[in-house]
Amino acid sequence: MPLSIGIDIGGTNLRAARISGNGEILKRVSEKSAPDPELVLGRVADMVRLLDTPDVKAIGVGVPGRVDARRGAVLSGGYVDLASVALARRLEDMTGKPVIIDNDCNMALAAEMAVGAGRGDSDIAMFTIGTGVGGAMAQDRRIMRGRATAGQLGHIGVDVNGEICACGRRGCVETTSSGTALGRHIARTGLGPDISIDQLFARDAEGDIQARAILDAWAVPLRAAIDTAVAVLDPNLILLGGGLGRAAHAALGRAPALAPWYQCRVEPAQLGDDAGVIGAGLQALAGQEAIPTIAPPAQPKRAVLVNGIPASGKSTVSRGIADRMGWPLLTLDTVKNPFLEVLGGADREFNRTLGRASYKAIWSLVGEAPVGSTFVVDAWFGFQPRKVLEDHLRNAGVEQTAEIWCHAPGAVLAERYGARLDQRLAGHPGAAYIPELIELAKRAEPLRRGPLFDVDTTKPIDFGAITRWLKMEFKA
């Protein structure tokens, strides 16, 4: 029987399990989650290595936030934002196995429909109560996705003047009825942070007014969100899952549905914290049948022009962008240096000639790539006339560019260049070039061809800001 690995990425824990075709967990591992997406990816890769066997045919990953499952793209996250790490592609590269990704709550609902509390129902809405509040919907037992990311029930508004949510709005039910929100409710009453949800229920049963106020503050907005979901979707079942799903179901006993129009059966999910890994594993085995492929609209061929004079720090910037966005990186030295090694070095004039040839080779490679490709190109674009670049872009079919301008004072560039002299192949300018480099720093300018992002490389590089800007510009 083919097996799969199911992975559930949460704000507090990372869970993974080897899953059979009938949804049985054969082996499980877990790690602590982290806000750093690269750290999360590394821990996920470690868990996969512990679970992988020859019988494992595919990997499924449930991811918090907005996910376009058809394209395998994470669009945004809340407590763990994996939008910048090309998760599916990088896991496929690491494992050599197909990877599907979807919203974590969609994965949980798939599990509950297969082997849990949703086996006998066709139209279901599910809230998962954990670090945040997730959501998923099924109609005729098929996950509803809308254009891509439908099901964000945790962002139903319940208080327009409430807490600011990770999504940018105020008063989403995630801000009032998640595990994180429960901690805030407890803190505001002055009770200690170690009090558990079971202790709250016990105190409430004994008539403790503070405990009752906390549970009401937690449950009443959730009831409002459930009523809204019932009004919009008219399901025959509402499931409450996640680590706090059963507790939320119990708390709702103090906040019954009042409007006669919005009555619906509400039940706790059966699979608890296992739902995410089981659903991810089953969806991975189902493969493309679980997530029908819809070809996205054709995208233009694009290039990120990481521009700057020698020693300006553009290599660090371009590598950082490529690593985070998953786009191929082309640099002059990558093309040129193998020729210098084979030829045994050359004088500066030949190095310049080879640089022009390498520049042409880069754009020839871009030209051979399919429509929709995006490349990161690292070069000092001022070393040739502007028309040369425009001709290359046109011949390569590049329709959209964004420029990252890397710069530093001449004295800093001189120090950097001098420190690397013994690492450079013969043919590259030597120490005599440093005064020329300092003068070049005074007059060098960006291309200003389309959108421009300025990077002072004497300061810490904010790759988060760069990648967000690139996504915004290319989306626009």
pLDDT tens digits, residue range 315-346?
A: 999 999 999 999 999 998 888 878 877 776 66
* pLDDT value for 1: 75
* pLDDT value for 112: 95
Q: Where in the chain is the domain with CATH 3.30.420.40?
A: 3-104+279-289, 117-270
Q: Which CATH class is domain 117-270?
A: alpha beta
Q: What is the mean pLDDT of residues 440-456?
A: 93
**CATH architecture entry for 301-475:** 3-Layer(aba) Sandwich (3.40)
**CATH architecture entry for 3-104+279-289:** 2-Layer Sandwich (3.30)
Q: Average per-residue pLDDT in the chain? A: 89
pLDDT over 80 (residue 80): no
Q: Which residue in this structure is represented by tokens 């990372």? A: 14
Residue 56 parent element (H or E):
strand 56-63
- Tell the burial category of 170 from Cβ atoms under 10 Å away from its Cβ (0-12, 13-18, 19+): middle
Q: Cα–Cα distance between 72 and 441 in angstroms, integer?
A: 42
Is 184:106 a contact under the CB 8 Å cutoff?
no
Q: Where in the chain is the domain with CATH 3.40.50.300?
A: 301-475
Is 279:239 a contact under the CB 8 Å cutoff?
no
pLDDT tens digits, residue range 408-436?
A: 999 999 998 888 877 665 656 778 778 98
Which amino acid, one-letter code, is at 417?
Answer: Y
* pLDDT value for 440: 92
Least confident of 64-78, 112-126, 325-339, 380-394: 64-78
CB atoms within 10 A of CB 362: 23
Per residue, the 3-state secondary structure of 110-128, as one string, reads: HHHHHHCCCCCCCCEEEEE
Q: Which of 248, 260, 189 is nearest to 222 (CA)?
A: 248
Is 280:6 a contact under the CB 8 Å cutoff?
yes
Q: Cα–Cα distance between 159 and 175 in angstroms, integer?
A: 9
Q: Cα–Cα distance between 252 and 346 in angstroms, integer?
A: 78
CA 240 vs. chain centroid, Å, equals: 25
Q: What is the mean pLDDT of residues 443-469?
A: 94
Q: Cα–Cα distance between 202 and 90 in angstroms, integer?
A: 47
The alpha carbon dihedral of 33, 38, 42, 44 has a sign of positive
pLDDT tens digits, residue range 210-234?
A: 999 999 999 999 999 999 999 999 9
- Dihedral angle, C-alpha 189, 190, 193, 194, nearest 10 °: -100
pLDDT tens digits, residue range 119-173?
A: 989 899 999 998 889 999 999 999 998 888 899 999 999 999 999 998 889 999 9
Q: Cα–Cα distance between 244 and 250 in angstroms, integer?
A: 10
Tokens of 292: 């029908």
pLDDT tens digits, residue range 25-52?
A: 999 999 999 888 889 999 999 999 999 9
Q: What are phi and psi of 449, to 5 degrees?
A: -100, 95
pLDDT tens digits, residue range 268-317?
A: 999 988 999 999 999 999 874 444 433 344 578 999 999 999 999 999 99
Q: What are phi and psi of 357, to 5 degrees?
A: -65, -40
Q: What is the mean pLDDT of residues 77-92?
A: 82
As beta bridge partners, residue 25 has 19
As beta bridge partners, residue 18 has 5, 27
Is 267:239 a contact under the CB 8 Å cutoff?
yes
Residue 134 parent element (H or E):
strand 133-139
**With a threshold of 0.75, does the pTM exceed it?**
no
Q: Which residue in this structure is represented by tokens 């934002």? A: 81
Q: Cα–Cα distance between 240 and 252 in angstroms, integer?
A: 11
- Tell the burial category of 379 from Cβ atoms under 10 Å away from its Cβ (0-12, 13-18, 19+): buried
β-strands 99-103, 142-143: how paired? unpaired
Is 382:444 a contact under the CB 8 Å cutoff?
yes
